[in-house]
Amino acid sequence: MRRDPVELLLRGLYSAVLYLLLPITVYHLVWRGFRVREYFKRWDERYASYPESGGQPRVWLHAVSVGEVNAAAPVVNALRELRPDIRWIITTITPTGSQRVRALWGDAVDHVYLPYDVPGSVNRFLAHFRPSLALILETELWPNMLFGCRDRGIPVYILNARLSARSLKGYRVLKALVSRALRTVTCVAAQSADDAARFIALGARPEQVRALGNLKFEIHPPDPTAVLEGFHQHVPDTRPVWIAASTHEGEEQAVVDIHRRLLERHPDALLLWAPRHPERFAKVEAVAREQGWRVATRKAQQWPEPGTQVFVLNTLGELMAFYACARVAFVGGSLQPIGGHNLLEPAAMGVAAITGPHLHNFAEISRRMDEAGALRICADAQAVGATVEQLLENDVERERMIEAGRALVANGRGALERTLELITPQLPPRS
């Protein structure tokens, strides 16, 4: 097949820039390591240096972090049940994503960090693991990896594909390269018709793209019984409890201000606080103590004490169960232009959800929840605080939102079945 000379030129320029930037990746890992110690470990995987032979071919799935791993879990679980003979390699970029992979599947799947998108690392990764099928979650468009899969005849499916209008604009500088890489993909299984249209605008051919729905609706809530029983042995049902979930550094002062005003009206109010990133656990605890509040943590005290005013959830994997302990949930990443976090989790756990205005990563979900009456979208932190207070005091409105949220989650399912129908014929033959 004759190579596109423009593609070769663009790939060469892109790769040359990445090689020049490789020393900065070391600085980045060190800088992140001072905040999250896990970034000091497993550097060999970041550069695709593996001590052992690759062994048998695998199906490869890439999910950048916790949210994408959770979205992929129903697909992986269904395919592992259908084809237990298949060996899996699952890659992430973040340590929290890595921890989530191990929590879900232990040693039943192989796991490494995705290497940097330079040709040498890409070629070593693909040669080592020899994937027969690549499944990439959401918006991970790494040109050298996509071209490398094409050159080795590996079909690539972008599952639960999401592309916000903001991200589409962000690709303008690399559009000539990314559009060519995107056209190597076998299928883009988009979350919505709007996402599908944006992928086509980025360069995908219309026949490549299908709108299959959002896998995040395939959420299967954990049984919160044990957590609820333990929680309510220490916290009576009469206390007004709210949760600030997946908050970021720039939102912490807003949470403090909201809780301070709430305590003026409800002196027995309890805040459950779950920062998005583990490196913020200790800092959030310190911020709460600086206010003179009585603070407990999940690791140290396990449960709130009678006088606890702030309970910091400084563990991983328990957020959804603790959603069930609250009456109202504020979901962070939304008071800053981060794009929001998963709003379906509180809805599935039966808690009224509130968010800020920055929702470009969850535009379709937030729109549907808003239209269904299952979500309150607030313009700023002050509005979030007023809405938290209003919903804590209005049982009827809160219950209406909870029922609407549960119904929306139940009615939104179906993407898993359509996704499995799409990719099952591409699974490797039985050995």
Cβ(331)–Cβ(342) below 8 Å: yes
Q: Distance between CA 358 and CA 103 in Å, rounded?
A: 30
Q: Which residue has the tokens 């600085």?
A: 27
Burial of 307 (0-12, 13-18, 19+ CB in 10 A): exposed
Active site residue 399: no
Which of the residues 45, 68, 251, 285 is marked catalytic?
68
φ and ψ at residue 210, rounded to 5 degrees: -135, 140
Q: Which residue has the tokens 């303008």?
A: 172
DSSP output for 347-390: HHTT-EEEE-S--GGGHHHHHHHHHHT-EEE-SSHHHHHHHHHH
**262-273 burial by CB neighbour count: b if 16+ within 10 A, else e?**
bbeeeeebbbbb
Q: Which residue has the tokens 């305590």?
A: 263
The three-class DSSP label of residue 318 is coil
Cβ(387)–Cβ(189) below 8 Å: no
Q: Distance between CA 60 and CA 62 in Å, rounded?
A: 7
Q: How many CB atoms lie within 10 A of CB 225?
A: 10
The catalytic residue positions are 68
